[in-house]
C-alpha cells in the first residue's frame, strides 16, 4: 500500500505544480490582453473628459461655475474630478513633458485609472474613473474551476485502474468464499498495485494448499489407519478366544507392533501438517549447498553415491535443518530404487543454483511424476522388497522447495536411465 500512497502523492503534487503553471500563464496572458483593451477604452473616455473640461476653461465659462459643475458631477457617471495647484501637486519633469506632448498622462491606482492634465494658471486637473470593475474576475474564477476540474479528472484517471483492480479483488474474494479456492488475480503492470495482487495470490495459494492438506491428511489418515486397526481388532479377538500362553504372547507382540505403526503414522502426519506453519516462521540465512550435500553423502556412507560439486561454494537462502531434511529424503528415495549407481551434482549459473540427483533404477513414468510429490502416494514397486512407508518424504521435499522459491522437476536420467530429480533454486 505504501507504493500506492507514494504514487498518489506524486500525481497530486505534479498535477498541482504543472497545471498551476500552465493555467497561471494562460490567466496572466488573458488578463494582460483584457487589461490592455480595457485601459485603451478607459483612456479614450478619460481623455474625452479632459478635453471637454480643458475647452470649458478656455471658453467664457466662469471659474466658480465650472467648479460647481465639477463638484456636482464628481459623484455621477463614474468619474471623479479634482483641481489642484501645480505647486501643491508637483509632477516630475518627465510627466509634465509627456502631458504637454500627449495632452494627458494616465496612471493606475487603487482608486482607479486617473488622467492628469495641466490647465492655465499653474493648475492640474485629475480625472479618475472610479467605477473600474474587475471584468477579469469572472475569467479568473473560470480558470480556477477548469484547473480543479482538470486536476480531479487526472486523479480519477489515476484511480481508475486501482478501483478496477479492487473490483476484481472483491470478485476473487467472493469466489474463494464460495469454495473456488483455485481463483487467482492476474497480476497487472502497475507497479503500485503489484504488491497487493501478489499478496492476495500468495494468501489464496496458502489457503488452497491448506485445504488440500486437510483433505489429504483426513483421507490418508482414514486409509492408512484402516489396516492396522483391523489387525489390532483381529488380534484382540483372537487373544480373547485362545488360552495358549504362547499364542497370547505372539498376538500381544503383533498388536504392539501395529500400535507402534499407528503411532509412527500419526507422528508423520502431524509433522507434515505443522511443516508449512514452521516454514513460514523460519528465517532464511545464506547456506553453502555443496557443504550440506557433502555431509549428507558422508553420513549415508553408500558406495553407490558419486558426488560432483564445484570448487566454489553454491550459496542459497534457506535454513540448515530443512535443507538437510530435503537432501536426506531425496537420498533415501534414491537408495530405495537405485541398483548400482547414484549421481549427485550441484552447479550454478548467474541466476540459479541446480541440484541434480540421478539413479539407475526403473525411473518414474511421466504420468506418475506429479503424483509422487503428493502425500500418501506410493508407486507399486514389485521388484523391490522394501518397507512401504507413508508416502510423505517427497511431499516434504516439494513443500521445502516451494518455501525457498525453487522448482522441482522429475525426468529420466540421460546418463543412468533411472529417475532424475532436478531442483532449481534462484540465487537472489
Confidence of residue 328 (pLDDT cuts 50, 70, 90): very high
117 close to 63: Cβ distance less than 8 angstroms: no
Number of residues in the chain: 428
pLDDT bin (cut points 50, 70, 90) of residue 385 is: very low
- Look up the pTM and report it: 0.55
Positive or negative: CA dihedral 407, 411, 415, 421: positive
Q: Quick one: average pLDDT of 321-347?
A: 91
> Hey, is 111 helix, strand or coil?
coil
Q: Where are the alpha helices (DSSP H) in 89-241?
A: 93-102, 136-177, 191-241
Task: Output 278 or 21, whichever has higher pLDDT.
Answer: 278
The more confidently predicted of residues 189 and 35 is 189
In the predicted model, what is the mean pLDDT of residues 78-85? 72
pLDDT at 341 over 90: yes
Residue 103 lies in a domain: yes
The verdict on 202 and 307 lying in the same domain is no
175 occurs within a structural domain: no
**Is 142 a domain residue?**
no
Q: What is the pLDDT at residue 180?
A: 81
C-alpha cell at 191: 507497479
Residues 274, 353: one domain?
Answer: no
Torsion of CA 220, 388, 229, 256, to 10 degrees: -130
For residue 337, the enclosing domain spans 284-426
Q: What is the pLDDT of residue 83?
A: 72
Which range is most confident: 52-61, 174-183, 303-312?
303-312
Asked whether residue 111 falls in the same domain as residue 225, the answer is no
Do both 210 and 288 map to the same domain? no
Q: Which of 279, 305, 329 is the last residue of a domain?
A: 279
Query: pLDDT grade, residue 220 (50/70/90)?
Result: low
Whether the CA torsion 263, 265, 268, 270 is positive or negative: it is: negative
47's grid cell? 481623455
Give the pLDDT band (50/70/90) at residue 194: confident
Question: pLDDT tens-digit profile of 263-316?
Answer: 887 887 777 777 877 888 889 999 999 999 999 999 988 899 999 988 888 899
The CATH number assigned to the domain holding 59 equals: 3.30.450
28 pLDDT higher than 50: yes
pLDDT in tens, 124-139: 777 777 654 544 556 6
Residues 291 and 268 in one domain: no
Among 81-85, 119-123, 254-258, 377-381, where is mean pLDDT lowest?
A: 377-381
CA dist., res. 369 & res. 421, Å (int): 10
* Per-residue burial over 142-155, b = 16 or more CB atoms within 10 Å of its CB, e = otherwise: ebeeebeeebeebe
Number of domains in the chain: 3
- pLDDT higher than 50, residue 35: no
Shortest CA distance to 212 belongs to which of 131, 125, 272? 272
Give the Cα separation of 45 and 77 in Å (integer). Answer: 11
Mean local confidence (pLDDT), 180-185: 80
* Mean pLDDT confidence for 403-425: 92
| Domain CATH number, residue 245 | 1.10.287.130
In a domain, 184, yes or no: no
Task: Identify the pLDDT of residue 345.
Answer: 92
Rounded Cα distance between 403 and 407, Å, is: 10
* Percent of the chain whose pLDDT exceeds 70: 76
Strands (E), 224-302: 285-288
pLDDT at 388 exceeding the cut of 80: no
The pLDDT tens digits of the residues spanning 199-209 come to 888 888 888 87
CA torsion, ordered 257, 262, 263, 265, to nearest 10 deg: 130
With residue 46 as reference, give the H or E element that holds it. helix 2-58
Q: Which residue has the higher pLDDT, 343 or 114?
A: 343
* 177-205 mean pLDDT: 78
Where does the pLDDT of residue 53 fall: very low under 50, low under 70, confident under 90, or very high at 90 and above? Answer: confident
Residue 387 has pLDDT above 60, yes or no: no
| Mean per-residue pLDDT over the chain, rounded | 78
Q: How many Cα atoms occupy the beta-carbon half-sphere of 128 within 13 Å?
A: 16
d(CA 27, CA 45): 26
The tens digit of pLDDT for each residue in 141-168 reads 776 777 777 777 877 787 777 777 778 8
**pLDDT confidence bin for 60, thresholds 50/70/90:** low
Residue 153 is assigned to a structural domain of this protein:
no
Q: Are residues 335 and 208 in the same domain?
A: no
The residue from 244, 279, 314 where one domain ends is 279
Residue 320 sits in a domain whose CATH number is 3.30.565.10
In a domain, 155, yes or no: no
Residue 107 sits at φ, ψ, to 5 deg, of: -130, 140
User: Please, what is the angle between helix 320-337 and helix 393-403, to 10°?
Assistant: 140
Residue 359 backbone class (left: φ over 0; alpha: ψ -120 to 50; beta: rest): beta
Amino acid at each position: 500500500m505504501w507504493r500506492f500512497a507514494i504514487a498518489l502523492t506524486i500525481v497530486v503534487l505534479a498535477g498541482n505544480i504543472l497545471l498551476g503553471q500552465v493555467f497561471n500563464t494562460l490567466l496572466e496572458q488573458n488578463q494582460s490582453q483584457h487589461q490592455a483593451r480595457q485601459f485603451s477604452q478607459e483612456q479614450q473616455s478619460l481623455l474625452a473628459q479632459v478635453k471637454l473640461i480643458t475647452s470649458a476653461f478656455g471658453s467664457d465659462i466662469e471659474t466658480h461655475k465650472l467648479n460647481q459643475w465639477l463638484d456636482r458631477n464628481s459623484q455621477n457617471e463614474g468619474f471623479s474630478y479634482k483641481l489642484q495647484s501645480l505647486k501643491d501637486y508637483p509632477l516630475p519633469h518627465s510627466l509634465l513633458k509627456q502631458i504637454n506632448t500627449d495632452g494627458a498622462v494616465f496612471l493606475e491606482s487603487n482608486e482607479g485609472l486617473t488622467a492628469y492634465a495641466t490647465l492655465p494658471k499653474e493648475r492640474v486637473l485629475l480625472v479618475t474613473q472610479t467605477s473600474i470593475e474587475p471584468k477579469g474576475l469572472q475569467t479568473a474564477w473560470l480558470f480556477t474551476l477548469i484547473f480543479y476540474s482538470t486536476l480531479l479528472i487526472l486523479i480519477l484517471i489515476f484511480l481508475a485502474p486501482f478501483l478496477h483492480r479492487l473490483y476484481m479483488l472483491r470478485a476473487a474474494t467472493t469466489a474463494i468464499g464460495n469454495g473456488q479456492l483455485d481463483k487467482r488475480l492476474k497480476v497487472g503492470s502497475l507497479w503500485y498495485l503489484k504488491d497487493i495482487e501478489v499478496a492476495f495470490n500468495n494468501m489464496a495459494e496458502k489457503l488452497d494448499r491448506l485445504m488440500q492438506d486437510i483433505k489429504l491428511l483426513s483421507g490418508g489418515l482414514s486409509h492408512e489407519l484402516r489396516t492396522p486397526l483391523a489387525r489390532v481388532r483381529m488380534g484382540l479377538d483372537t487373544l480373547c478366544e485362545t488360552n495358549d500362553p504362547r499364542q497370547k504372547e505372539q498376538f500381544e507382540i503383533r498388536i504392539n507392533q501395529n500400535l507402534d505403526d499407528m503411532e509412527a503414522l500419526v507422528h508423520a502426519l502431524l509433522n507434515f501438517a505443522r511443516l508449512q506453519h514452521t516454514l513460514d516462521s523460519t528465517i532464511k540465512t545464506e547456506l553453502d549447498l555443496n557443504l550440506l550435500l557433502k555431509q549428507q553423502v558422508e553420513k549415508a556412507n553408500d558406495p553407490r553415491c558419486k558426488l560432483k560439486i564445484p570448487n566454489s561454494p553454491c550459496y542459497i537462502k534457506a535454513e540448515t535443518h530443512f535443507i538437510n531434511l530435503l537432501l536426506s529424503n531425496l537420498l533415501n528415495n534414491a537408495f530405495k530404487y537405485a541398483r548400482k549407481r547414484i549421481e549427485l551434482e550441484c552447479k550454478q549459473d548467474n541466476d540459479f543454483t541446480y541440484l541434480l540427483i540421478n539413479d539407475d533404477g526403473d525411473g518414474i513414468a511421466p504420468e506418475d511424476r506429479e503424483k509422487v510429490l503428493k502425500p500418501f502416494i506410493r508407486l507399486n514397486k514389485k521388484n523391490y522388497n522394501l518397507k512401504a512407508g507413508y508416502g510423505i518424504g517427497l511431499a516434504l521435499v516439494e513443500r521445502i522447495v516451494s518455501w525457498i522459491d525453487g522448482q522441482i522437476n522429475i525426468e529420466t536420467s540421460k546418463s543412468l536411465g533411472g529417475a532424475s530429480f532436478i531442483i532449481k533454486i534462484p540465487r537472489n
